[in-house]
């Protein structure tokens, strides 16, 4: 029985990856220094696998930005706008990934897209022109050479051809599968070079085989893998991120040395494949999660798989379910975590040890071990807790009266620029160099400034600016029992961007009010309404590592109760508007269509549980960072919020068309200004967009706001932008009342 992982984190123990690559981009590091750092990280990744005692050492998944885009470049695919043969390979990749070249030249970057149902984002390769550079797998060969020096059996991992094609952009109007013949030819060359260079195994990742693939694609699998067959290297086809959707008989018949499936997502598939695989093929089962931070339940796994292990003998491999890139590097770095919490956790390094332990347990397992039965039920919240006291129609009337806002009210999404003073003060406060009172003074100065700027600009509904938060999830996690934050628990989000998700380790409860004091301080500075500002339960869930011993739905309700208590306290403290952000609602959608309805059912319930406690006069806002919400519109309506603000600026036309067909039944604020761009929006353009929105949204329902929080902008951009936004709303309002007056006038005469 052999042990292996599907891939390893790239960041290094202390985000050395980020520091290095950003240093190179800023011109502080030379290309040589970049190469040295690459080699160092690659060696650390190999050493970890060797030290743990894995049978196969896996390499090939390092990249200074994204392995999929890097692989596209290896194959020779480069869009015309980035193509420059005078660039070295790293600079060519960075130009494609970042849209800027070392000399400052710019061209739109490859698009980023979510990697399956994870919080990692990959760059979408563009295949339109076909390969334009010769095959160049030199980075892979360098990794291979390092791994071979360890003396272990070496496995090189690359994206499988069908998944690569599925995730890429084939070009406008092109039929993706038309790229297949050329692509396969490149793959054959690449496999030959890897075999020649001494790879023992090549792992072809085909996570697309866990998606709802069209039959036209499925029917290609056999021909593709026949075309790649080789005798000088073993191919492992790995299906990850869920149970295979490809018929198991098709999978079992593919001519590869080993098939890998996720034994946690679908134990039954592993059983069936063990039966069906021809005798000379091996089965690899993912038994240690590449995505969860929990220790595996090795005893249960042993009980479940002992018989199968005996049956397959040396035809069995055990591995991780996915690459370990989704979990932090090493739990040993976490000095501040409680011992009982640590005892539940395993990060990448620990997971390698678990594989080796599991191998021993499975080898020595006595016959006739019975697997325990699982299954947990959720007790859903009562309908009364989920329902606001009055209907949306009557609430909106009350709220309009209570708030006395003008037509087309203006507001912002929550955060304002984090100033250097604020960052400095926070760092000093964390280190104990600044006491609590001193830190709060800095925050108070910020609140005064932030409120003054909004009042001067004439914004109608104000925010406090979120100076006390660095992150919209971690901030709340620090107030919730059962949720812990780590010191070094970073995982890659995209490129050099990393996130440090909190960990939900037990039952959740709010320790104390989280935002009430800062709300009070901000509201005391102005007579205009200040919004209470919270992160919603679904986003708290989707951006954390979640315990797996109870259903996700149950955890969502526990988080919802924490937020609910905060909503009630904010209301009691005088908040007339409370915004509950759910930017991660949509990204939590399961990969398989068949599971969408169930997710949306409990996700909307969680939001309602969090917010329905508000009285009818209190206005509940929510915010989402996407405009393409057509596919989940019913769920968004079911949230029963009074006002929704959306990101739109990159898909204005699409949203307008959508709203024309499907009117939203409450107030709505499609973002009129793109906060992702440093440009200050032009008042005339804002007016034009607002007029356009008014063709599909009744004026009484339309809010005017930017499309997301402003924390990544600076004040020099934000202040004039606010003035332009308020001015645009005023002009549209005046034009409308002038028009109404003219009409009334005409009617009289």
Instruction: Give the residue numbers marked as catalytic.
Output: 676
What is the spatial distance between Cα 349 and Cα 9, in angstroms, rounded to a whole number? 10
Could you tell which of ligand GLN, Zn ion, none binds residue 159, using a CB distance below 5 to 8 A set by kind? Answer: none
CB 661 within 8 A of CB 698: no
Stretch that binds Zn ion, among 98-106, 157-165, 578-586, 697-705 (CB under 5 A): 578-586
Q: Which is nearer to Zn ion, 268 or 679 (CB)?
A: 679
Comparing CB distances to ligand GLN, the nearer of 194 and 625 is 625
Nearer to ligand GLN (CB atom), residue 269 or residue 518: 518
Question: Widest CA span of the chain, in angstroms?
Answer: 99
CB of 642 to ligand GLN, least distance (A): 17
Q: How far is the CB of 506 from Zn ion (least distance, A)?
A: 30
| Cβ-closest position to ligand GLN | 709
Tell me which residue has tokens 């070496």.
154
C-beta of 236 vs 450, nearer to ligand GLN: 450
Order of strands across the sheet that contains 503-510: 480-484, 503-510, 545-546
Smallest distance, Å, CB 621 to ligand GLN? 10
Q: How far is the CB of 609 from ligand GLN (least distance, A)?
A: 20
Kindly determine how many residues on this chain lie close enough to bind Zn ion according to the rule CB under 5 A.
Answer: 3
x-or-dash string of contact with Zn ion, 429-448, rule CB under 5 A: --------------------
Instruction: Determine the 3-state secondary structure of 258 from DSSP.
Output: strand
The minimum distance between CB 528 and Zn ion, in angstroms, equals: 22
Kindly tell me which of 304 and 623 has the beta carbon lying closer to ligand GLN.
623
Q: Is residue 708 part of the contact set for Zn ion (CB under 5 A)?
A: yes
Burial of 592 from C-beta contacts in 10 A (0-12 / 13-18 / 19+): middle
Cα gap 312→278, rounded to integer Å: 11
Parallel/antiparallel/unpaired status of strands 643-646 and 667-670? parallel
Using alpha carbons only, what angle is made at residue 112 by residues 111 and 116, rounded to the nearest 5 degrees? 130
Query: Which entry of Zn ion, ligand GLN, none binds 414, CB below 5 to 8 A by partner kind?
Result: ligand GLN
Contact (CB, 8 A) for 329 and 12: yes
The least CB distance from residue 581 to ligand GLN, in Å, is 5
Distance between CA atoms of residues 372 and 301, nearest Å: 10
In the bound state with Zn ion, the residue whose beta carbon lies nearer, of 322 and 539, is 539
Q: Which among ligand GLN, Zn ion, none contacts residue 472 (Cβ within 5 to 8 A by kind)?
A: ligand GLN
CA separation for the pair 131, 181 (Å, rounded): 12
Cβ proximity to ligand GLN: between 345 and 668 the closer is 668
Q: Which does 422 bind (CB under 5 to 8 A by kind): Zn ion, ligand GLN, none?
A: none
How far is 50 from 39, CA to CA, in rounded Å?
16
Considering only 533, 625, 666, 710, the residue that binds Zn ion (CB under 5 A) is 625
Taking the least distance from each CB to ligand GLN, the nearer of 581 and 640 is: 581
Helix (H, G, I), strand (E, B) or coil at 262: strand
Token pair for 453: 């700027």
C-alpha radius of gyration, the chain, whole number: 28
| Partner that binds at residue 415, options Zn ion, ligand GLN, none, CB closer than 5 to 8 Å by kind | ligand GLN
We find the least distance from the C-beta atom of residue 509 to Zn ion, in angstroms, to be 28
Two tokens, residue 365: 């397992």
Neighbours of 608 (CB within 10 A): 24
Q: Which does 426 bind (CB under 5 to 8 A by kind): ligand GLN, Zn ion, none?
A: none
Q: How far is the CB of 429 from ligand GLN (least distance, A)?
A: 21
395 binds, among ligand GLN, Zn ion, none (CB under 5 to 8 A by kind): none
> Rounded to 10 degrees, what is the CA torsion of 97, 99, 102, 106?
170
Only one residue has tokens 């059912």, namely 601
In whole angstroms, how close is the CB of 647 to Zn ion at the nearest point?
6
User: Do residues 250 and 223 lie in contact, with contact meaning Cβ atoms separated by under 8 Å?
Assistant: no
Within 13 Å, how many C-alpha atoms sit on residue 613's CB side? 21
Residues engaged in binding ligand GLN (CB under 6 A): 413-415, 466, 472, 533, 581, 583, 623, 625, 708-709, 711
Q: How far is the CB of 706 from ligand GLN (least distance, A)?
A: 9
* Positions 626 through 655 that interact with Zn ion (CB under 5 A): none
Side-chain half-sphere of 450: how many Cα atoms within 13 Å?
31
Contact stretch for Zn ion (CB under 5 A) within 318-326, 438-446, 506-514, 583-591: 583-591
- Between residues 676 and 743, which has the closer beta carbon with respect to Zn ion? 676
Residue closest to 76 by CA, chosen among 147, 38, 129: 129
Torsion sign over Cα 25, 27, 32, 36: negative
Of 443, 605, 577, the C-alpha closest to 517 is 443
96 binds, among Zn ion, ligand GLN, none (CB under 5 to 8 A by kind): none
Count of C-beta atoms within a 10 Å radius of residue 454? 26
**580 interacts with Zn ion by CB under 5 A:** no
**C-beta separation of 222 from 215 below 8 A:** no
CB-CB contact of 251 with 226 (8 Å): no
Q: How many CB atoms lie within 10 A of CB 512?
A: 11
**Helices 652-661, 683-694: crossing angle, 10 deg rounding:** 20
Any residues with CB less than 8 A from the CB of 471 and at least 6 apart, and which?
500
The token pair at 539 is 């986003």
**Residue 58 or 579 having the CB closest to Zn ion:** 579
CB of 325 to ligand GLN, least distance (A): 23
Task: Find, among 285, 410, 495, 488, the residue nearest to 669 by Cα.
Answer: 410
Rounded to 5°, the CA angle 428-444-721 comes to 105
Count other C-beta atoms under 10 Å from residue 193's C-beta. Answer: 17
Nearer to ligand GLN, 533 or 578 (CB): 533
What is the three-state SS of 474-504? HHHHCCEEEEECCCCCCEEEECCEEECCCEE
Question: Which residue lies nearer to ligand GLN by CB, 271 or 647?
Answer: 647
Residue 173: its H or E element: none
Site string for Zn ion, 660-699 (x = CB under 5 A): ----------------------------------------
Stretch that binds Zn ion, among 126-134, 419-427, 442-450, 620-628 (CB under 5 A): 620-628
In angstroms, what is the minimal distance from the CB of 390 to Zn ion? 28
In 11-94, DSSP assigns E strands to 56-59
Q: Which does 66 bind (CB under 5 to 8 A by kind): ligand GLN, Zn ion, none?
A: none
With binding defined as CB under 5 A, does residue 710 bind Zn ion?
Answer: no
581 contact, one of Zn ion, ligand GLN, none, CB 5-8 Å limit per kind: ligand GLN
Residue ranges in contact with Zn ion by CB under 5 A: 583, 625, 708
């Amino acid at each position: 029985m052999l042990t292996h992982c599907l891939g390893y984190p790239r960041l290094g123990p202390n985000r050395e990856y980020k520091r290095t690559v950003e240093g190179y981009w800023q011109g502080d590091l030379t290309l040589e220094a970049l190469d040295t750092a690459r080699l160092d990280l690659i060696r650390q990744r190999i050493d970890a696998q060797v030290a743990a005692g894995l049978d196969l050492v896996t390499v090939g998944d390092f990249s200074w930005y994204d392995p999929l885009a890097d692989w596209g470049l290896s194959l020779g695919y480069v869009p015309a706008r980035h193509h420059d043969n005078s660039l070295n390979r790293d600079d060519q990749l960075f130009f494609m990934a970042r849209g800027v070249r070392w000399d400052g030249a710019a061209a739109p970057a490859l698009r980023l897209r979510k990697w399956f149902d994870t919080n990692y984002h990959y760059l979408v390769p563009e295949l339109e022109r076909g390969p334009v550079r010769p095959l160049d797998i030199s980075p892979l060969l360098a990794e291979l050479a390092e791994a071979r020096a360890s003396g272990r059996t070496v496995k090189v991992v690359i994206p499988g051809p069908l998944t690569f094609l599925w995730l890429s952009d084939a070009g406008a109007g092109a039929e993706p599968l038309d790229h297949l013949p050329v692509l396969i030819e490149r793959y054959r060359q690449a496999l030959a070079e890897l075999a020649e260079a001494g790879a023992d195994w090549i792992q072809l990742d085909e996570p697309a085989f866990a998606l709802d693939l069209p039959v036209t694609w499925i029917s290609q699998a056999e021909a593709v893998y026949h075309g790649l067959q080789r005798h000088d290297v073993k191919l492992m086809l790995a299906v990850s991120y869920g149970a295979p959707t490809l018929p198991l008989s098709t999978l079992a018949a593919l001519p590869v040395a080993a098939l890998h499936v996720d034994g946690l997502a679908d134990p039954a598939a592993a059983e069936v494949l063990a039966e069906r695989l021809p005798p000379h093929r091996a089965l690899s089962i993912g038994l240690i999660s590449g995505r969860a931070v929990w220790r595996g339940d090795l005893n249960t796994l042993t009980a479940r798989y002992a018989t199968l292990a005996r049956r397959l003998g040396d035809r069995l491999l055990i591995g991780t379910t996915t690459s370990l890139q989704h979990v932090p590097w090493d739990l040993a770095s976490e000095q501040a975590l409680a011992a009982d919490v640590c005892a539940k956790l395993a990060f990448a390094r620990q997971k390698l040890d678990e594989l080796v332990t599991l191998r021993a347990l499975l080898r020595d397992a006595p016959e006739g071990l019975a697997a325990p039965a699982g299954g947990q039920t959720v007790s859903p919240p009562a309908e009364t807790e989920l329902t606001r006291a009055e209907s949306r129609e009557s609430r909106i009337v009350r709220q309009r009266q209570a708030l006395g806002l003008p037509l087309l009210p203006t507001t912002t999404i929550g955060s304002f620029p984090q100033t250097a003073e604020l960052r400095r003060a926070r760092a000093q406060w964390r280190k104990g160099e600044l006491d609590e009172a001193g830190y709060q003074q800095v925050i108070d100065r910020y609140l005064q400034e932030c409120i003054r700027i909004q009042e001067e600009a004439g914004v109608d509904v104000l925010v406090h600016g979120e100076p006390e938060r660095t992150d919209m999830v971690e901030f709340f996690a620090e107030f919730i029992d059962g949720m812990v934050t780590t010191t070094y628990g970073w995982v890659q989000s995209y490129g050099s961007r990393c996130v440090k998700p909190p960990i939900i380790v037990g039952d959740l409860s709010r320790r104390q009010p989280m935002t009430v004091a800062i709300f009070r301080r901000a509201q005391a500075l102005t007579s205009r309404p200040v919004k209470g500002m919270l992160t919603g339960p679904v986003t708290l869930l989707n951006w954390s590592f979640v315990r797996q011993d109870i259903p996700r739905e149950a955890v969502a309700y526990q988080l919802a109760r924490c937020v609910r208590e905060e909503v009630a306290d904010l209301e009691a403290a005088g908040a007339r508007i409370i915004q509950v952000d759910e930017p991660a609602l949509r990204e939590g959608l399961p990969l398989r269509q068949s599971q969408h309805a169930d997710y949306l059912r409990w996700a909307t319930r969680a939001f309602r549980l969090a917010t329905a406690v508000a009285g009818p006069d209190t206005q509940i806002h929510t915010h989402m960072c996407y405009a393409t919400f057509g596919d989940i519109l019913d769920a968004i309506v079911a949230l029963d919020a009074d006002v929704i603000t959306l990101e739109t600026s990159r898909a204005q036309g699409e949203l307008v068309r959508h709203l024309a067909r499907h009117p939203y039944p409450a107030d709505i604020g499609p973002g009129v200004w793109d906060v992702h761009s440093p440009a200050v929006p032009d008042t005339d353009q804002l007016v034009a967009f607002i007029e356009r929105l008014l063709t599909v949204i009744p004026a009484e329902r339309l809010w005017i706001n930017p499309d997301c929080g402003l924390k990544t902008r600076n004040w020099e951009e934000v202040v004039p932008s606010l003035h332009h936004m308020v001015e645009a709303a005023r002009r549209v309002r005046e034009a409308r009342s002038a028009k109404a007056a003219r009409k009334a006038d005409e009617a009289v005469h």
